[in-house]
Structure 1
Amino acid sequence: MNDITELKQFIVVHAKAQGLSAAEYQPILDRIRSDDDGAPDSWATVWRDAGDELAERGKLLDANRRYVMARFPYVDGPGRARAQQSYLDTFERWSKEQRDIEPLTVTVGDDRVRCWTTGLSTTERRPLVLIMGGIISVKEQWAPTLRLANRLGLAAVVTELPGVGENTMRYDADGWRMITAVLDSVADRADATRTTALALSFSGHLALRCALTDHRIRAVITAGAPVGAFFTDRTWQGRLPRVTVDTLAHLARTSPDGLAGLMPSLALSAEQLAALDIPVYYLASRRDEVIPPEDLALLRAHVRDLHVLENDDVHGSPHHVLESRLWIVQSLMRLTGRQGLRSALLGALLRLLRRRSLRTQR
């Protein structure tokens, strides 16, 4: 059973990232008293009830955000399984009302990787953006980013880490190969040779590893991605939040104790990082309780084209969500050649927010 206090702590950054305000998510958290599957005051039930209310009023994406919260951190019983089915059904219903949001299924060996796409065309092969989240992020929470990519004249594919959502693969050292399979599957309808990976958290690690082999990835934008010490430092691993350890174990199909044998094989070496010949944009949190500071130091020492935005915050920078979002969008526009007035305005707004943030820190 999950620790409710820890779930409430770590859900905040994910709620904010989906555009939920404290006025929206805090009353829901206040009603949650347990993680007993099926109980009326349980995590999955309270969040799912909030989603049902909005779905009945036709507010599909708002409902979807609550359903995604209800299955956090992963499906471990009937309650979260029902929540997952709710967001899958609701997102599909929403997608049918859109002009250019389409599903895609990619086969990797005996496994299946489900995706959502936009901007794919055999006659106008646009530059591709690959979008992925971390160990609890599902593809159905990325609707605004799909819309943004389309407005910028880009093709986009959003998918999930191995073991997350509808990705049936196991999270292990070969997980990065799914990215190549996804790029292969859309190469006839998008310019996959100009792929920018918007890959946050643990998917950033997969994108960096894939870029060493698959040179169609021309840039990586990430946030809080583990690269080295996270996978090798047993002392650091012993201090990780329980929800992080349990979720990783679930994705790897092992026990929390069994992670010790898997983790070192995932680490990227100094030589591998030095071999990257692409720009890497990395958003870091100075007080990150999940990603050790040694990982950012490793990137700074060896990645030749590294751009860092560092926030004085905890994992996910929950107190800098707007700044982080603006930085990511501006980075995407710069890397894909979509600069202009909008990019300049974003840059000006970001600089203003950064100055305010620095004054607050003083």
Structure 2
Amino acid sequence: MRPHAEPISISVFNAGGNRVTSWTVREADGIYSRKLNIPDVSEPGVWRIVAHYQGDEKNAATREFQVKKFVMPSFDVSIKPEQNYFLVTTEKFHFTIHASYSYGETIKGAYHCQFGVRQEATGDADTRKPETIIIRGLEKSGSVNNGEAEVTLFRLQIENLLKERSANLTQLALDRTQLYVAVTVIDIASGELQEAEVFIPIVSQRGGVRWRSYSRILTFKKNDASYGAWLDRPSSIWLTAQVVKVLSLVADRQLEGRGEKGRQGANVVSVEEISQSVEYLLSKQSEKDGSFNDPHPVIHREMQGGVGGTEGDVSLTAFVTIALKRSLHHLTGETKNKAF
């Protein structure tokens, strides 16, 4: 270790790679802090702070930070349905609108809702585009108080408007159609508008939601039982472990509700699917120390639990271990022995 009392050279580089400023300091306690003023005319992008002992540029420490134009804080709008599906026999569909600023202040204003239907796209994956059709006459408006508004949509009203278009909810459910909900909220104080939208599956029975979700997951499965966000991209150990954990949880619930005979039900998650993906995960385990490593970028980084970089293998190993433990009840034979 080198003595911390030696002079330290510090430089700041802008997004273009140009040195903006530099200085030299000595700190007896080894800790240095300073406020850095960035001019308004500065180019946005990734800036760097580089620090090293004088004459030791090869062992410099670098920290990057993002420079962006300041934008006044805006508010977010979200839609929270009472149920994550629209059952064709339900009398009414209820949801809550939430609107608040990132720093916690809630909105007082007004909302306007539009509704429609979107049929699942068919055809080539590169060209298919789902079409959303707005149902005219089904609009809703009202007040937003303390950042919330309650909205209720009645099935009979939807049916009557669909009849004018020679359609009905039962047929829409068979066609795997989704209910489209679009919300616009205005803040009275600032006059600012923000929007949000959600797509709710229309189903003829509650069990259809689980089966459709399960089928959707399997579309991302590859021949080796791994999963990826895209079939033409490398597989993700993170995503495969997540699928194993989710399918195991669903299989647990289905067994609890239907008994051991539930394993043979048509709408039950296949334990074979779980077992195959577990085999894939085990094949990626390090023989040296038992850890897991995924060299490919993680798209949904919240799975990493805030741990990345050189410690990324630690969080991944923990994540896979939890998934394997959850799957044990659905494994048999050698696969179960290896997963222990």
- TM-score normalised by L of structure 1: 0.23
Between Structure 1 and Structure 2, the one with more strand by share is 2
Larger Rg belongs to? 2
Between Structure 1 and Structure 2, the one with more helix by share is 1
